């Protein structure tokens, strides 16, 4: 393994899911729903397979039906903010959001370029920045225990920009803290990007999982559309994490760049699932609000249970993750806590330190996923209360 990758080892998600299987624990670690997405969308995938649609290499940028559906989805949900994309030149289908992130970084970074990312950050960001030869510059979200929320210090963000900064890699709603950046914060980030002429890759895979307020795509702020690659995922929006269908939207020049990298990573993404996701994106509005309402109720079940069990809960405004502080339970090392938790309680969680460069800042925090049935969440909470 080369030096660029050596520091990353095995992703925590694989490690913790294996531990859950080995110990028969409730897995609130890796974020995947315990119920598959809509039946009709599964049927659409079966139909495509059976009818021989997509069983051979689909077009590199994605099948036209899916690109059209992505563009129509952006228009439906964000058209009122003046945001729309041309399906032929401004949409790229990828193998999950993971590939979109990797391809965008590989396409847009020169060796030595600096990338600003909010810390804690989703684990593939650091590895992909490294693979692209870039340098990550973390800007740390600060916990506000009184508010039970995380805060972005805009001055810190501004100070992190140097002459070597090429882009900001943003994530809202934010994994693992559940932070949804406010309109004011997004306005300031946009202003900074324009002022310093930065590109932005914005990972908005949890766009439909916002429980308070509304999701505002960064690309819809003044001066941003032309400099922003926006990333979405059918894994999150339709509860099919195993299908690995994602997409990027951006102006033609940026999409072409990302596509140049994508063509040598996977060339194309799996065909039949693209037909099914095209149908999924056209589901009526009440599918999307139903998903959100369902997860909001699950958030409340788990947040309540974790509080009762003695964790300090950072109540998420979005995503399907809850970050907790374990210090009220008398622990301060999330790694040790998560490694012991399956034996002690039969529950698996993720230590937030893996999402940090400043490991000491993340050490006492642990993430639980709540994309599980209310019964499973209640059982996990009951087990944790007996800790
Ligand atoms: N970005 C974030 C913030 C995520 O939480 C995830 C979930 N795994 C991904 C990207 C990757 O998405 P996908 O499964 O579509 O590759
Ligand atoms: N995004 C999910 C999480 O954060 C799963 C990611 C993965 O397994 N790579 O838990």
Distance 271 CA to ligand 1 centre (A): 20
List residues near ligand 2 (CB under 6 A).
11, 13, 30-31, 175
CATH number at residue 328: 3.90.1150.10
pLDDT at 300 over 90: yes
CATH number at residue 266: 3.40.640.10
* Residue 356 contacts residue 138 (beta carbons within 8 Å): yes
Tell me, what's the pLDDT at 10? 87
**66 and 214 housed in the same domain:** yes
Could you read off the pLDDT of 106-123 as tens digits, one per residue?
999 999 999 999 999 999
118 lines ligand 1 (CB under 6 A): no
**241 and 304 housed in the same domain:** no
Structural domains counted in the chain:
2
**126 and 229 housed in the same domain:** yes
Torsion 370-374-376-379 (CA) sign = positive
Q: Where are the alpha helices (DSSP H) in the chain?
A: 3-6, 12-23, 39-50, 64-78, 96-108, 123-131, 154-160, 183-195, 234-237, 252-265, 271-281, 285-308, 334-345, 359-362, 374-385
Q: Whose CA is nearest to atom 8 of ligand 2?
A: 13
pLDDT at 129 over 90: yes
Q: Which of 375, 248, 201 is nearest to 301 (CA)?
A: 375
Strands of the sheet with 165-171, listed across from one edge: 91-94, 246-249, 228-233, 199-203, 165-171, 114-119, 135-140
pLDDT at 279 over 90: yes
Domain boundary residue, one of 224, 257, 283? 283
**178 and 314 housed in the same domain:** no
171 lines ligand 1 (CB under 6 A): yes
**261 and 341 housed in the same domain:** no
**88 and 30 housed in the same domain:** no
**261 and 152 housed in the same domain:** yes
Instruction: Say which residues have a Cβ less than 8 Å from residue 278's Cβ, sequence separation at least 6.
Output: 63, 65, 66, 68, 69
Could you read off the pLDDT of 239-274 as tens digits, one per residue?
999 999 999 999 999 999 999 999 999 999 999 999
**166 and 32 housed in the same domain:** no
Ligand 1 atom at shortest distance from the alpha carbon of 13: 8
Distance 31 CA to ligand 2 centre (A): 5
Indicate the SS3 state at residue 109: coil
Q: Domain containing 80: what range? A: 39-283
Ligand 1 atom at shortest distance from the alpha carbon of 171: 3
* Residue 376 contacts residue 36 (beta carbons within 8 Å): no
Domain boundary residue, one of 220, 253, 283? 283
Mean pLDDT across the stretch 200-210?
A: 98
Token pair, residue 191, equals 């202003």
Ligand nearest to the CA of 350: 2
Q: Whose CA is nearest to atom 4 of ligand 2?
A: 31
**26 and 53 housed in the same domain:** no
* Residue 366 contacts residue 352 (beta carbons within 8 Å): yes
Token pair, residue 289, equals 């609000």
**26 and 166 housed in the same domain:** no
The terminus-to-terminus CA distance of the chain in angstroms comes to 40
Instruction: Say which residues have a Cβ less than 8 Å from residue 205's Cβ, sequence separation at least 6.
Output: 97, 231, 232, 233, 235, 236, 237, 246
**224 and 265 housed in the same domain:** yes
235 lines ligand 1 (CB under 6 A): yes
Average pLDDT, the chain: 97
Residue 336: pLDDT band with limits 50, 70, 90: very high
Could you read off the pLDDT of 158-172 as tens digits, one per residue?
999 999 999 999 999
Tell me, what's the pLDDT at 100? 98
**Whose structure tokens read 């693979």?**
131
Q: What is the CA radius of gyration of the chain?
A: 20
d(CA 333, CA 184): 34
Distance 123 CA to ligand 2 centre (A): 8
**320 and 212 housed in the same domain:** no
233 lines ligand 1 (CB under 6 A): yes
Domain boundary residue, one of 283, 304, 330? 283
Pocket test for ligand 2, best of 10, 11, 32 (most atoms within 8 A of CB): 32
Mean pLDDT across the stretch 280-302?
A: 98
CA–chain centroid gap for 270, Å, is 21
Mean pLDDT across the stretch 185-207?
A: 98
Tell me, what's the pLDDT at 9? 85
Instruction: Say which residues have a Cβ less than 8 Å from residue 152's Cβ, sequence separation at least 6.
Output: 118, 139, 141, 179, 181, 185
């Amino acid at each position: 393994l080369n030096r660029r990758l050596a520091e990353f080892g095995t992703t925590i998600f694989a490690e913790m899911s294996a531990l859950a299987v080995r110990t028969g624990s409730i897995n609130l670690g890796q974020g995947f729903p315990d119920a598959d997405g809509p039946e009709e969308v599964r049927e659409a995938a079966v139909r495509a397979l059976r009818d021989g649609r997509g069983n051979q290499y689909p077009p590199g940028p994605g099948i036209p039906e899916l690109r059209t559906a992505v563009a129509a989805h952006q228009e439906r949900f964000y058209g009122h903010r003046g945001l729309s994309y041309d399906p032929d030149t401004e949409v790229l289908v990828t193998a999950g959001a993971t590939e979109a992130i990797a391809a965008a970084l590989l396409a847009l970074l020169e060796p030595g370029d600096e990338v600003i990312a909010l810390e804690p950050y989703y684990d593939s960001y650091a590895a992909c920045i490294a693979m692209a030869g870039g340098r990550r510059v973390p800007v740390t979200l600060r916990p506000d225990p009184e508010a039970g929320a995380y805060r972005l210090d805009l001055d810190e963000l501004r100070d992190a920009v140097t002459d070597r900064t090429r882009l900001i890699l943003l994530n809202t709603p934010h994994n693992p803290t559940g932070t949804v950046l406010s309109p004011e914060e997004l306005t300031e980030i946009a202003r900074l990007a324009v002022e310093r002429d930065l590109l932005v890759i914005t990972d908005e895979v949890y766009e439909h999982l916002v429980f308070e307020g509304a999701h505002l795509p960064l690309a819809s702020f003044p001066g941003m559309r032309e400099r922003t690659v926006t990333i979405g995922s059918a894994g999150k929006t339709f509860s099919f994490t195993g299908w690995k269908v994602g997409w990027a939207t951006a102006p033609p020049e940026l999409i072409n760049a990302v596509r140049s990298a994508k063509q040598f990573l996977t060339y194309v993404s799996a065909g039949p699932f693209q037909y099914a996701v095209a149908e999924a994106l056209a589901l009526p509005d009440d599918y999307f609000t139903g998903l959100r309402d369902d997860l909001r109720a699950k958030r409340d079940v788990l947040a309540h249970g974790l509080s009762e069990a003695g964790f300090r809960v950072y109540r998420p405004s979005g995503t399907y993750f809850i970050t907790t502080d374990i210090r009220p339970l008398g622990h301060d090392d999330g790694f040790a806590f998560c490694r012991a938790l399956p034996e002690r309680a039969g529950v698996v969680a993720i230590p937030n330190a893996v999402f940090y460069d400043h490991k000491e800042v993340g050490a006492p925090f642990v993430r639980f996923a709540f994309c599980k049935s209310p019964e499973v969440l209640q059982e996990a909470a009951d087990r944790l209360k007996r800790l």
